[in-house]
Amino acid sequence: MTSTASSPKFVCTICARGGSKGVPGKNIRMLIDKPLIAHTIAQAKATGLFEAVAVSSDSPEILEVAGQYGADILIRRPDELATDESGKLPAILHALGEVERQLGFEADYLIDLDATSPLRFPEDIKACADILTETGCSCVLTGYPAHRSPYFNLLERAKDGSISLSKQLPDPVLRRQDSPECFDMNGSVYGWKREALKVDPGIFYPDTKLYVMPRDRSIDVDEELDFDIIRMIMERRASN
């Protein structure tokens, strides 16, 4: 069964691999009052958007924690989709297939949330959903204004060792403010029209949209220092 246009059906996937190299065990490491992944599950649930919030992992421990903290569907990711070389899109597509099989209908939209980005607000997720439904775009992704510009102060080293600006315009950019607007992808939220994702899996379609988030909602856990920064921001929010 496919939903009608008047009531679009959203599903949420959270893909959390067990074999993190930079910060071992990060997805279920305690952050303030609950494991890291539980913050993302709670944000997804708080939106009220989703037919189901699904967690996909190769780790039984992650799936157990996800179930304890409210995930609706737990998906055991195949080993071949959980190697260091595996891309995330195949894991998302596998999760989507399992969600739809268990729900018994096709979704209209899928939103994938990064388990290592606990600083987003539920409103950020809702805003991405609104962009999908209001513009009809194939994909929406999130980012924040870049601190470095490839046209002004982001350098690139060539194979011969020479250094140059990463991107150059016909006329040199003398002030960073005069360079084209650039953003860092933060990986916090990805949203797709289901049809686009199934037919042509990717993120950069001709009609892909960007939802801009502030830096203090865009930090993800990639190294130990990130935990300290995120904890500080969360504590500051709680005290305000």
pLDDT for the residue 176 = 76
Looking at per-residue confidence, does 133 or 17 come out higher?
133
Q: Mean of the pLDDT values across residues 96-125?
A: 98
Residue 3 has pLDDT above 80, yes or no: no
Give me the DSSP letters along 170-199: SS---SGGGSPP-EEEEEEEEEEEHHHHHH
pLDDT for the residue 179 = 87
Cα dihedral 229/218/36/82 (nearest 10):
-120
CATH superfamily of 10-143+186-239: Spore Coat Polysaccharide Biosynthesis Protein SpsA; Chain A (3.90.550.10)
Longest pairwise C-alpha distance within the chain: 58
161 CB-near residues (< 8 Å, 6+ apart): none
Q: How many residues does the chain have?
A: 240
Alpha-carbon distance of 221 to 218, in angstroms, equals 10
Q: Are 54 and 98 in contact (CB under 8 A)?
A: yes
The per-residue pLDDT for range 12-69, each reduced to its tens digit, is 999 998 877 778 899 999 999 999 999 999 999 999 999 999 999 999 999 999 999 9
pLDDT range class, residue 1, cuts 50, 70, 90: very low
The per-residue pLDDT for range 175-200, each reduced to its tens digit, is 877 888 999 999 999 999 999 999 99
Q: Residue 171: phi, psi to the nearest 5?
A: -105, 130
pLDDT for the residue 63 = 97
- Which residue is it, tokens 């246009």? 5
Q: For residue 183, give the nearest of 143, 141, 220 by alpha carbon.
A: 143
pLDDT for the residue 86 = 74
92 CB-near residues (< 8 Å, 6+ apart): 13, 15, 56, 110, 112, 197
> Please, where are the H alpha helices in the chain?
36-47, 60-68, 88-103, 122-135, 194-199, 224-239
Tell me the Cα Rg of the chain. 19
Whole-prediction pTM value?
A: 0.91
Q: Mean of the pLDDT values across residues 73-79?
A: 93
Q: Mean of the pLDDT values across residues 216-236?
A: 95
What HEC string does 54-72 produce?
EEEECCHHHHHHHHHCCCC
pLDDT for the residue 6 = 65
Q: What is the residue extent of each domain of the chain?
A: 10-143+186-239, 147-181
- Which residue is it, tokens 């930079």? 22
Alpha-carbon distance of 142 to 89, in angstroms, equals 16
Q: Are 37 and 23 in contact (CB under 8 A)?
A: no
Per the prediction, the chain carries an average pLDDT of 93
Percent of the chain's residues with pLDDT above 90: 79
